[in-house]
Structure 1
Amino acid sequence: MEFRIERNALVEAVVWASRSLPARSPVPVLGGLMLDAGRGRLRISGFDYEASASIEVPAQTPSVGKVLATGRRLLDICRVLPDAPVECGSEGTRFTLEGGGARFGLSILPREEYPALPELPAPCGTVDAAQFADAVARVAIAAGRDDSLPVLTRIQLRLEDGALTLAASDRYRYAVRTVPWKPWAAGSEAVEVVVPGRRLAEISKSLAKTGAVRIGLSSPGGPDGPGGGLIAFEGDGMRTTLRLLEGRLPRYGKLFALERPAVAVTQREALAEAVRRVAVVAEQNCPVRLDFSARGTLILQAGYGDDVASQQVTATLDGADDLAAAFNPGYLLEALNSFDAPHVRFELLGPGQRALLSAAPDADADADADGAAREDHRHLLMSVRQLS
């Protein structure tokens, strides 16, 4: 097997396929990447039973064939290759790469022991790639990062007529964002699936510039559905699958329905800057206190003893004369930065209770000329009970 390929094309292909490589595996061949040279193209793929990734790129192929190369080592080599065309081939039990005066060799893994990649489920619709990547990134901040609690590290997707809704929660916050979705079958039933959050974030980021992402599901709602089926993402020659996980997040409808909340509106960037400023005196995990007033002010305070900071910003408050709430500054900043709108709306119940953030209409601007709806994004935060 021999092929010749541009260096950047090879690097991008190996980086994409290596996303499916397991961090550790008792099965050595799962740490390999399959390189399949066909007529005028090179396909690189990886698989670890939970996820698969493959990509096809143009290449000159004097001799077709397949080789299973050590994935991490191949990735390291590709990153240091000189900026020149790369000639690759297999020589006995060795795979070689040569270009720009540099030559590398790495051992070949037994191809016959490598499992077959899963078949891609048929696409059921498309979503704008940039919007999808942006939505995943803004929701993923609310997913848990502790792998010892895997149920909290997931992202839930709900596909229904015209809308794709993503949701994530780590118990202390809950983010939900909706983007337009084009199902291929009109009137199809809504489907909810749960996937690993970290991997979905990586996949969506890599597909962000492909224009449109095709999404497929294997037997949604059936015996091969959540917990046993697959979800597939395709775009611009890149294909990947994730095994669907069991369980689902708590229904956010009741959590987001706050009874008779006070409503505050303030400038998002001004508040974010104030949080960053006063939080410099706060010890780790210490909250920032927000004192809202119907007089049109919001005072932020942080710190204890002599190490304190405060700042005042403008805000409106309806439904109460005064109301205080305190939040983890990191969580609050991430929530604020997940919005694009110039103003953010707080629905508040009081200390130690839920607070719902959403985009507020800009009173100083007319509606969008194309009639676009305001940002369909909501972020629930638990406020700290103890105020000092």
Structure 2
Amino acid sequence: MKLRVAREDLADAVAWVAKSLPSRPPVPVLGGILLEVTGDTLVVAGFDYEVSTRAEVSVDAQTEGRVLVSGRLLAEITRALPAKPVDIVTDGSRVTITGGSAKFTLPTMPVEDYPALPEMPAASGTVGAAELAEAVVQTAISAGRDDTLPMLTGIRVEIEGDKLTLAATDRFRLAVRELSWTPDVPDLSTAVLVPARTLADAAKTLGSSGTVVVGLGDGLLGLEASGRRTTVRLLDVEFVKYRSLLPSSSTTTVEVAASELTEAIRRVALVTDRGHHLRMQVTDGMLTLTAGGDDEGRAEEELPVEADGAELLIAFNPGYLLDGLGVVHADTVRLAFTTPSRPALMVPVVDPDKNKPEQDYRYVVMPARLPG
């Protein structure tokens, strides 16, 4: 194999593939990156039996071939090379990478031991890359991180005609986002559970690609855009019946500027510790935030708001509130409450005068127990 490639194109492709490689591969070859040249196209790929990534790069190739090298080392080298064309040449069991005055010689790994990458599942439809990336970020914050409870570590992707619904929960909060897409089959109806961390990484990377092709089949979800493709093995577990957790009514609502509420929560939360939560008190036209106590210090801040309904005192983990506010992507949010012991709902308030597209996003937070 002998080729020349633009350094930036190579570094971007290698970095994208390397992000999905396991930090501690069960066998050494799964920590490798496969480089394969066919014609004037270099395929950079990685696979660990759960996630596969594949990026295509245009190159000036003299001879075709394939080689497997350490993914971590290749990523570090390509990132550090000077901004000059890169020459890659294989010679027996070694590969030489030259960029400008820098030259690296690496041992190869046994490419014959590398597993075959899964095929991209048949296309099910297309969706805007930026919209998908936003929806995944908005739901992934609520996914669990305890691998002993796999049903909570995923994002449920529901397809119903021309609507996609993404949902995730860790039992303390629930995030649901709906968006439009273009299915290949008009009456398609299905649902899958995708590992949240993997889907978030893939969607973030493809977010500037324009349109993403989504494929489902053989226990895999596939995403493809702009010469990059990733497949993810689906979680074979039942997701919780989350729709029953969405509040259907409220007795108290508050509308407040998202940025002002975010900054106030951050300030008041400075005195919280494991034994105390942030308390919200809703009165006519005012939202009062308090935290702490006499022993470790106390904080209080009042915000003028548009409040409607009964007065209320309720407590939350401030981190959960900040997570939702960080991805709601709206100037104003509406908080809807029922009782101090029931979940609260956060939704964006869209200002029609600013010509912003409406987003169907719901973020549900379980309250903390009030003392006494």
TM-score band by shorter chain is over 0.9
Structure 2: which 5+ runs fail to align?
none
Higher mean displacement: 148-157 or 295-304: 148-157
Q: What does residue range 139-154 of structure 1 map to in structure 2 within 5 Å?
A: 139-154=139-154
2: CA distance between counterparts of 1:267 and 1:314? 10
- 2:365 maps to 1:385: no
Q: Is this contact kept in 2: 1:351–1:387, CA < 8 A?
A: no
Aligned length: 371
- 2:316 maps to 1:327: yes
**Deviation of 1:13 (Å):** 1.0
**Deviation of 1:286 (Å):** 2.9
1: CA distance between counterparts of 2:350 and 2:195? 33
Post-superposition CA distance 1:117-147 (Å, at most 9, x none): 1111111101100111111111111112333
Q: What does residue range 127-206 of structure 1 map to in structure 2 within 5 Å?
A: 127-188=127-188, 190-206=189-205
* AA matched with 1:197: A
Q: What does residue range 302-341 of structure 1 map to in structure 2 within 5 Å?
A: 302-305=291-294, 307-320=297-310, 322-341=311-330
2: CA distance between counterparts of 1:38 and 1:23? 29
2: CA distance between counterparts of 1:164 and 1:264? 29
- 2:80 maps to 1:88: no
Higher mean displacement: 159-168 or 140-149: 140-149
Q: What does residue range 271-290 of structure 1 map to in structure 2 within 5 Å?
A: 271-284=261-274, 286-290=276-280
Q: What does residue range 224-373 of structure 1 map to in structure 2 within 5 Å?
A: 224=218, 229-284=219-274, 286-293=276-283, 295-305=284-294, 307-320=297-310, 322-362=311-351, 366=353, 368=355, 372=357
2: CA distance between counterparts of 1:134 and 1:361? 16
Q: Is this contact kept in 2: 1:193–1:244, CA < 8 A?
A: yes
2: CA distance between counterparts of 1:319 and 1:341? 23
Post-superposition CA distance 1:21-44 (Å, at most 9, x none): 222222221111111112111111
* AA matched with 1:239: R
2: CA distance between counterparts of 1:95 and 1:286? 58
Note closer, same or farther for the CA distance 1:108–1:343 as it changes in structure 2 (3 Å cut): same
1: CA distance between counterparts of 2:20 and 2:262? 36
Post-superposition CA distance 1:209-267 (Å, at most 9, x none): 1110000001xxxxx4xxxx111000000011001111233222211134553222222
2: CA distance between counterparts of 1:260 and 1:242? 39
2: CA distance between counterparts of 1:367 and 1:209? 23
Post-superposition CA distance 1:271-313 (Å, at most 9, x none): 11211111112224631110001x2111111111161111111
Q: Is this contact kept in 2: 1:96–1:104, CA < 8 A?
A: yes
1: CA distance between counterparts of 2:30 and 2:93? 18
* AA matched with 1:359: P
- 2:24 maps to 1:40: no
2: CA distance between counterparts of 1:169 and 1:298? 27
**Deviation of 1:379 (Å):** 0.3
Post-superposition CA distance 1:44-93 (Å, at most 9, x none): 11111111111111001111111111211111211211111110011111
Compute the TM-score of the two structures, normalised by the length of structure 1.
Answer: 0.91
Which SS does the other structure have where 2:299 is aligned?
Answer: strand
Structure 1: which 5+ runs fail to align?
219-223
**Deviation of 1:332 (Å):** 0.5
* AA matched with 1:230: L
Which SS does the other structure have where 1:109 is aligned?
Answer: coil
1: CA distance between counterparts of 2:251 and 2:242? 17
Q: Is this contact kept in 2: 1:287–1:384, CA < 8 A?
A: yes
Note closer, same or farther for the CA distance 1:27–1:361 as it changes in structure 2 (3 Å cut): closer
Q: Is this contact kept in 2: 1:142–1:169, CA < 8 A?
A: yes
Q: Is this contact kept in 2: 1:285–1:328, CA < 8 A?
A: no
Q: Is this contact kept in 1: 2:247–2:344, CA < 8 A?
A: no
Counterpart in 2 of 1:209? 208
1: CA distance between counterparts of 2:157 and 2:150? 17
Q: Is this contact kept in 2: 1:133–1:208, CA < 8 A?
A: yes
1: CA distance between counterparts of 2:97 and 2:245? 56
Counterpart in 2 of 1:221? none
Q: What does residue range 25-104 of structure 1 map to in structure 2 within 5 Å?
A: 25-104=25-104
Q: Is this contact kept in 2: 1:19–1:53, CA < 8 A?
A: no
Q: Is this contact kept in 2: 1:340–1:375, CA < 8 A?
A: no
2: CA distance between counterparts of 1:46 and 1:348? 47
Q: Is this contact kept in 2: 1:29–1:110, CA < 8 A?
A: yes
Alpha-carbon RMSD: 1.8
Which SS does the other structure have where 1:245 is aligned?
Answer: coil
> Once the two structures are aligned, what percentage of the paired residues are identical?
43
**Deviation of 1:317 (Å):** 3.1
